[in-house]
């Protein structure tokens, strides 16, 4: 219960204590209806304000918190109705305010329980989302890794083919170089003269 609600209840108690007794009576008092309704009206307004604070924490639980507010307002309305019916009896009036105080506490406890449950459910949803995202990233990692392995294998095969071709080219050049050396080492034949032909 908030400090302001406690203050309101204390103000109502003090107001009752300060009311004057009716003439020739030790139990009936004179109550200003506007003043006490103002106090009760502010008390009724304070409960939804307290519950609305939790709506800012869990945005996706608006419906649950609104239901808790409605329940609290209904309980306060019932307590206020009982209080209005018993304003002529001081002792019963005190008991009515005590009941209203209890109703407020119960309503706030129920609202807090609903909000705690909503927070737990939101945390569970976040955990599930994290696990799902991690699973997706794991699958992506496996696909990328497999693709890299396959690319590496194809690259190695390509390099082997290039090396083989390179070796063939080197071998062919060596053979050509050997043939060129052989041809350069042979003596050149002199051309035959006309006299030898005769």
Residue 120 is predicted with a pLDDT of 92
Identify whether 152 is part of a domain: no
pTM to 2 decimal places:
0.33
Cα angle at 23 between 40 and 86, to 5 degrees?
A: 30
Residue 53 is predicted with a pLDDT of 64
How many structural domains is the chain composed of?
1
Residue 191 is predicted with a pLDDT of 53
Identify whether 185 is part of a domain: no
Identify whether 136 is part of a domain: no
Digits of tens for pLDDT over the chain (198 positions)? Answer: 456 778 888 888 898 888 888 888 888 888 888 988 888 888 788 767 655 665 666 666 666 667 777 888 888 888 777 777 766 667 766 777 788 898 889 989 998 999 999 899 888 988 887 887 788 778 778 877 888 888 898 889 889 999 999 999 998 888 888 777 776 665 555 555 555 544
Residue 161 is predicted with a pLDDT of 92
What is the Cα–Cα distance from 57 to 52, expressed in whole angstroms? 9
Residue 62 is predicted with a pLDDT of 62
Identify whether 100 is part of a domain: yes
Identify whether 167 is part of a domain: no
Identify whether 115 is part of a domain: yes
Identify whether 50 is part of a domain: yes
Identify whether 68 is part of a domain: yes
Domain span including residue 77: 3-123
């Amino acid at each position: 219960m908030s400090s302001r609600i406690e203050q309101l209840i204390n103000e109502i108690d003090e107001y009752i204590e300060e009311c004057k007794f009716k003439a020739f009576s030790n139990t009936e008092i004179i109550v200003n209806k506007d003043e006490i309704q103002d106090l009760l009206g502010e008390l009724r307004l304070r409960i939804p304000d307290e519950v609305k604070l939790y709506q800012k924490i869990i945005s996706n639980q608006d419906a649950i918190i609104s239901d808790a507010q409605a329940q609290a307002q209904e309980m306060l309305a019932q307590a206020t109705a009982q209080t209005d019916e018993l304003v002529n009896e001081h002792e019963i009036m005190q008991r009515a305010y005590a009941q209203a105080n209890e109703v407020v506490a119960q309503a706030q406890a129920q609202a807090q329980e609903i909000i705690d449950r909503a927070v737990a459910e939101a945390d569970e949803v976040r955990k599930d989302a994290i696990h799902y995202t991690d699973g997706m990233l794991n699958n992506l990692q496996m696909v990328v890794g497999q693709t890299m392995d396959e690319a590496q294998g194809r690259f190695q095969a390509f390099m082997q083919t290039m090396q083989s071709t390179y070796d063939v080219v080197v071998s062919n050049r060596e053979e050509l170089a050997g043939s060129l050396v052989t041809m350069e080492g042979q003596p050149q034949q002199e051309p035959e003269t006309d006299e030898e032909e005769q």
